[in-house]
Amino acid sequence: MFKILVVEDNKNLLVLMRSRLEQSGYEVLLAENGQEALRVLESFQVDLIISDIMMPHMDGFELIESLREANLNMPILIVTAKEGFEDKERGFRLGTDDYMVKPIDMNEMILRVAALLRRAQINNEHKIVIGEVVLDYNTLTVSGPNFLVELPKKEFLLLFKLLSYPKQIFTREQLMSEIWGMDSDSDERTVDGHIKKLRKKFEERPEFKIVTIRGLGYKAVKMIDG
């Protein structure tokens, strides 16, 4: 079960967010400011943090900066009333992964949390091995006997995602959300274009193939045991 830390000084919102997250199957830890959050993190390993910005003692910006300086790389979702571009820019520069402006839609929050956790899972799995072919996340390469292909990051993440869940069908919307982010200006045709490039690069490889599921999206099939 994924463990989520919610850092928020509005107690009513804190309870509401906790309830909605628990309904979605997450274990939830609570803190009312950045200092409390750091104390919680001394005792628990968390998979994702949802944090307000304006809080007493240590605000959300200071919390994010402390976490990133300590090389703690769990996804961070900012939820705040500060909607100015300068605040968003500062949050992203410090290391937040996503940003929501209050009042928030709880269902959208759940979608964003799920997308962030899936992307983090991609980032934490460093290699996929299929027969003699190796997908290496650290170098964004696909390699095997007598060949080495270095992919653009989005192409690599797309292929890595599909091969992480062979035979599972992903809609274009899911892939856009997880690889490009929910706020991307790109449309779903971007996924089609990247799939076309991947097929061309690996059409001669017998280890796997990408299958179009008409009207739905795509899946990857491993042709040999990995």
**pLDDT tens digits in sequence order for the chain, 226 residues long:** 789 999 999 999 999 999 999 999 999 999 999 999 999 998 888 999 999 999 998 999 999 999 998 888 899 999 999 888 898 899 999 999 999 999 999 999 999 999 898 878 766 767 888 988 999 988 999 999 889 999 999 999 999 989 988 888 889 888 888 788 766 677 778 999 999 999 999 988 899 999 999 888 999 998 876 5
**Is 83:54 a contact under the CB 8 Å cutoff?**
no
For 68-89, b/e burial (b = at least 16 CB within 10 A) is: eeeebebbbbbbbebeeeebbe
Whether residues 103 and 213 share a domain: the answer is no
Q: How many domains does the chain have?
A: 2
Q: Are residues 16 and 113 in the same domain?
A: yes
Helix, coil or strand: residue 126: coil
The domain containing residue 97 runs over which residues? 3-122
Which amino acid, one-letter code, is at 43? Answer: S
Residues 5 and 123: their CA atoms lie apart, in Å, by 20
Same domain as 186, residue 93: no
Cα distance between residue 158 and residue 191, in whole Å: 8
pLDDT of residue 181: 75
pLDDT value, residue 84? 85
- What 81-90 contacts at long range (C-beta under 8 Å, 24+ apart), as own/partner pairs, is 81/54, 82/53, 82/54, 87/53, 90/61
The pLDDT value given to residue 76: 96
pTM: 0.62
Query: For residue 176, what are the CA distances in angstroms to 45, 191, 192, 203, 217?
Result: 29, 7, 10, 23, 11
Domain termination residue (choose one: 79, 98, 122): 122
What's the confidence (pLDDT) of residue 145? 87
Nearest CA to 159 among 170, 147, 173? 170
The CATH number of the domain holding residue 16 is 3.40.50.2300
> Do 187 and 100 share a structural domain?
no
| Same domain, yes or no: 89 and 157 | no
Of the three residues 122, 155, 173, the one that is the final residue of a domain is 122
The residue among 24, 197, 35 whose CA lies nearest residue 112 is 24
The whole-number pLDDT of residue 122 equals 66
What per-residue confidence (pLDDT) applies to 127? 83
Q: Provide the token pair at 83.
A: 């909607």
Residue type, 155: E
